[in-house]
Structure 1
Amino acid sequence: MRHARAGDLDLAYESFGDDSDPPLLLIMGLGTQMVAWDDEFCRLLAAEHLRVIRFDNRDIGLSSHLTALGVPDLEAAAEGKSFEPPYRLADMAGDVVGLLDALGLQAAHVVGASMGGMIAQELVIAHPSRVLSLTSIMSTPAPEIGVPTEAAMAALFTPPGTDLPSAVARAIKVQRVIGSPGYPLDEEALAARVKVAWERSEGDAEGVVRQMVCIMGSPDRRPGLSRTTVPTLVLHGEDDPLVTLEGGEATAEVVPGARLVVFAGMGHNLPVQLWPSIIAEISDHVRGVVV
């Protein structure tokens, strides 16, 4: 693992594959460290002759935590009251630009999952020259599109773990609600990923609130996405209860030439059984881009 300076922030990142291969940058979602991009998933992508880069967003993992910004009023934001988020998704897209600069990369193929997809969308709107292709996974162009089910929202607000056993128990409980109903939940593998994340960083509940309010306080991206010329692939689970399929459909509908692939039985995670299909879709999309 290494650190890169992006503006005033330090971003932790890791790379898989040959540095001479086309760069593929993975952006993870809300309150989730980069290790949620499973090591083997990253290695399989790298085997497609890609330089795979994953990193911790601001306010998570081993990247900078913006504690000085305090804790925003999540209840007021959720009720639609007037509020000013501590930062917006556009600022997080700026972090990505800073990371690319630090790595000496003029542009990269970008894959974003959930909030990571929202950040990637902001990136193609504000910094299109830095994105060779976009893959938006289980995401949405606006918070009012693809809204969570009541059960998924309740799971999202489950209190964080205070130690490793409670963190594992929480992750399993949440994934039973928002995960993929068409595929069995591998609790042992999930517990192992939680252990890796916990040992890297014990979590930052306040940082997760800042990220959540950032999503709520960021504007609708459809006007900007309608003008993008970046080749776009949209992947979504048919049974996603956290960002419902409407989010993926709206993204694909508004981006000119975008292609939507829907996976039956998939919820708000990436089941290992679907990795071959997901990796094939991403690698085919990347190879189809003329640079």
Structure 2
Amino acid sequence: MQVSANGIMLEVETYGPKEGVPLVLIRGLGSQMVHWPVELYEELAALGYRVVLFDNRDVGLSQRCPRGGVPSRAEEITTLATNGDAMRAAYTLDDMADDVLGVMDALGIAKAHLFGISMGGAITQILCLDHADRVLSATIVMTAARPLVARAQVAEMLPALLAEPVDRDTYVDNWVRDDAIYGSPGFPMSEAELRVQAGLAYERGFDATGINRQVLAVLTAPDRRAGLTSVAVPCQVIHGTDDALIPADLGAEIAGLIPRCDYHAIDGMGHVITPKLAPMMVELVQDFISRRAS
């Protein structure tokens, strides 16, 4: 269903009892709600949580959010970065945090547990920093608190992040290729599973320019490390030791900054939560909330 959130329209799905304790899942860069393993949200719903999934702005079935004068095409962004021009974003991760609050408002949710991965983990940090009164607990997964690269090195990282318009077959092939690099080798998905998932995502709404606007929001985000030392929300950090995109020591850094933060380093986990990882994620969330945030 579509809801009005923070002045835009976002695609939302809910699972579990309406009266259940809310648990909002926040996805990462360029991905959609269909990339969540069914085993993850259905098992959480079976435990009695009201699980909320949504497509971030600019992906899937949610609204596209261009801004006049701000580039969205990979070629334009790369040219600016190569020339050393200031990087501008159509919106910020703070705007995307406000989107989460907008989804909660639309569903009548005053406070929620959060589970955010990658870019969604950065958004989760912002919510803990600036909107702690809306957060019951936070599970921060496969992400960082600092900029991934110095501003002067942004141009070097762009080719791995920016998206180009492609046809369905190429998109699916690229998804399979990237999983071999960034996936979770100890908890793998089969190629057939990956192809089905990628095909569905493409058909729902692959948009290279939307993904590129998310890239700019990530790359222009400020360092959050100093602020995290004062977070009072119950938090846990989960990070894979096989993460080829964001090194595990950056997750450990977050856990070391947030007071009383739990930390779980998962061997065999990369930068993807797969169906085989879902039971472990559910167990970690349930145990954490039972101990720290009930």
Q: Could you list the per-position Cα deviations for residues 193-249 of structure 1 after superposition, in whole angstroms to 9, with x for gaps in the alignment? A: 112222222x11111111001011110111221111010010000010111112211
Give the TM-score of the pair, scaled to structure 2.
Answer: 0.90
Local SS of the residue matching 1:260: strand
Q: Is the 8 A contact 2:87 2:216 kept in 1?
A: no
1:267 equivalenced with 2:270 (yes/no) = yes
Instruction: Find the counterpart in structure 2 of residue 3 from structure 1.
Output: 2
**Whole-angstrom distance in 1 between the partners of 2:195 and 2:282:** 23
Local SS of the residue matching 1:53: strand
Local SS of the residue matching 1:129: helix
Instruction: Find the counterpart in structure 1 of residue 19 from structure 2.
Output: 20
1:94-109 superposed matches below 5 A: 94-109=98-113
1:216 equivalenced with 2:191 (yes/no) = no
Instruction: Find the counterpart in structure 2 of residue 206 from structure 1.
Output: 209
Unaligned stretches of 5+ in structure 1?
A: 146-151
Counterpart residue type for residue 221 of structure 2: S
Instruction: Find the counterpart in structure 2 of residue 86 from structure 1.
Output: 90
**Whole-angstrom distance in 1 between the partners of 2:84 and 2:127:** 26
How many aligned residue pairs are there?
Answer: 285
**Whole-angstrom distance in 2 between the partners of 1:178 and 1:154:** 15
1:89-238 superposed matches below 5 A: 89-144=93-148, 156-157=161-162, 159=164, 161-163=166-168, 165-201=169-205, 203-238=206-241
Q: 1:260 to 1:36 in 2, by over 3 A?
A: same
Local SS of the residue matching 2:276: helix
**Whole-angstrom distance in 2 between the partners of 1:68 and 1:189:** 36
1:51 equivalenced with 2:28 (yes/no) = no
Local SS of the residue matching 2:237: strand
Counterpart residue type for residue 176 of structure 2: I
Q: Which runs of 4+ in 1 moved over 3 A?
A: 76-81, 152-161
**Whole-angstrom distance in 2 between the partners of 1:107 and 1:131:** 5
TM-superposed CA distance for 1:288, in Å, is 2.5
TM-superposed CA distance for 1:290, in Å, is 4.3
Local SS of the residue matching 2:233: coil
Give the TM-score of the pair, scaled to structure 1.
Answer: 0.91
Q: 1:197 to 1:23 in 2, by over 3 A?
A: same
Local SS of the residue matching 1:272: coil
Q: Could you list the per-position Cα deviations for residues 3-22 of structure 1 after superposition, in whole angstroms to 9, with x for gaps in the alignment? A: 11112201110001111110
Counterpart residue type for residue 123 of structure 2: I
TM-superposed CA distance for 1:160, in Å, is 5.1
Q: Could you list the per-position Cα deviations for residues 150-207 of structure 1 after superposition, in whole angstroms to 9, with x for gaps in the alignment? A: xx976545745312x2221110011111112334441111111112222222x11111
Counterpart residue type for residue 95 of structure 1: D
Q: Could you list the per-position Cα deviations for residues 75-115 of structure 1 after superposition, in whole angstroms to 9, with x for gaps in the alignment? A: 34588642332211111101111111111111100000100
Q: 1:274 to 1:126 in 2, by over 3 A?
A: same
TM-superposed CA distance for 1:74, in Å, is 3.0
Q: 1:197 to 1:236 in 2, by over 3 A?
A: same
Q: Is the 8 A contact 1:20 1:51 kept in 2?
A: yes
Instruction: Find the counterpart in structure 2 of residue 149 from structure 1.
Output: none
Q: Is the 8 A contact 1:107 1:130 kept in 2?
A: yes
Stretch moving more, 80-89 or 220-229: 80-89
Q: 1:228 to 1:168 in 2, by over 3 A?
A: same
**Whole-angstrom distance in 1 between the partners of 2:265 and 2:286:** 17
1:234-245 superposed matches below 5 A: 234-245=237-248
Q: 1:158 to 1:208 in 2, by over 3 A?
A: closer
TM-superposed CA distance for 1:255, in Å, is 0.7
Counterpart residue type for residue 213 of structure 1: L
Q: 1:156 to 1:85 in 2, by over 3 A?
A: closer
Local SS of the residue matching 1:200: helix
Instruction: Find the counterpart in structure 1 of residue 37 from structure 2.
Output: 38
Identity of aligned residues (%): 37
Instruction: Find the counterpart in structure 1 of residue 152 from structure 2.
Output: none
Q: Is the 8 A contact 1:153 1:242 kept in 2?
A: no
